[in-house]
Chains A and B, each alone.
Chain A
Amino acid sequence: DAGITQSPRHKVTETGTPVTLRCHQTENHRYMYWYRQDPGHGLRLIHYSYGVKDTDKGEVSDGYSVSRSKTEDFLLTLESATSSQTSVYFCAISVQGATDTQYFGPGTRLTVL
């Protein structure tokens, strides 16, 4: 357990509504990531952050924005949700150490109707 929580864990929303997902970590790791996981596509990077207010786009960033005003929180916002954004969203942190790789949160299951 890398001390990552995600909220909400499940959400159902309607097309066109804004949605914000939260990732919270307890250990002050600098790098944080948002991925989405879909059948047939695997895990794909949406956005990542390498520090407070420092973010960059990933492979599938269209329709998503992120913010990081504190080290411990990384927010993912769908400004106007679409059905194609129905997915499972995972937050990850990068931990420096023996393995120096990424650890994942429990996920948020989002359904856009």
Chain B
Amino acid sequence: QKEVEQDPGPLSVPEGAIVSLNCTYSNSAFQYFMWYRQYSRKGPELLMYTYSSGNKEDGRFTAQVDKSSKYISLFIRDSQPSDSATYLCAMSANSGNTPLVFGKGTRLSVIA
């Protein structure tokens, strides 16, 4: 079993839809959780960062962490065509100096 599992999609939704992206993990030591967005032929860019359990909101994006279930989610409200990208979850047991463990990424297409 991989340490981090992420459904690769692809996921296609109409503009304005609410998108839910998820990852599960097996290592209970993970405390730092990140979501990266990667446009085609670009490097990953940090979208959301969460420490331990709970929710974090930033504009149309909400990250949720449920450590008891070893499950993290990213919600995108009012999705836009510009949200079309691959979304990668990442996590680590220690601070940002520790190498991250990534999911394989979910490819999202938002159709106008």
Q: Is A103's CB under 8 angstroms from B102's CB?
A: no
Residue with the greatest number of chain A CB neighbours at <10 A, chosen from B46, B90, B96: B96
Residues of B in contact with A, size category: 20 to 34
Contacts of A43 in B (CB 8 A): 44, 88, 90, 100, 102
Q: How far is the CB of B46 from chain A (nearest CB, A)?
A: 6
Q: Is A104's CB under 8 angstroms from B44's CB?
A: yes
Q: How far is the CB of A95 from chain B (nearest CB, A)?
A: 7
Q: Is B43's CB under 8 angstroms from A101's CB?
A: no
* Residues of chain A in range 69-113 having any CB-CB distance to chain B below 8 Å: 90, 94-96, 99-107, 109
**Per-position binary interface string of chain A over residues 25-63, scored 1 when its CB falls under 8 Å from any chain B CB and 0 otherwise:** 000001101000000111111001010000000100000
* Residues of chain B in range 79-98 having any CB-CB distance to chain A below 8 Å: 88, 90, 95-97
Query: CA A44 – CA B3 in complex, angstroms?
Result: 12
Q: Is B99's CB under 8 angstroms from A101's CB?
A: no
Q: Is A33's CB under 8 angstroms from B99's CB?
A: yes
Interface set of A (CB-CB < 8 Å, partner B): 30-31, 33, 40-45, 48, 50, 58, 90, 94-96, 99-107, 109
A sample of 29 cross-chain residue pairs with beta-carbon separation below 8 angstroms, ordered by A number, consists of A31-B97, A40-B8, A40-B104, A41-B104, A42-B6, A42-B88, A42-B103, A43-B44, A45-B99, A48-B99, A58-B99, A94-B96, A94-B97, A95-B96, A96-B95, A100-B32, A100-B96, A100-B97, A101-B46, A101-B49, A101-B96, A102-B46, A102-B90, A104-B43, A104-B44, A104-B45, A106-B42, A106-B43, A107-B41
* Known contacts A101-B46, A107-B43, then 18 further A-B pairs from the complex at CB < 8 Å, ordered by chain A residue: A31-B96, A42-B102, A42-B103, A44-B102, A45-B100, A58-B99, A90-B43, A94-B96, A96-B97, A100-B49, A100-B97, A101-B34, A101-B49, A102-B100, A103-B46, A104-B36, A104-B44, A109-B41
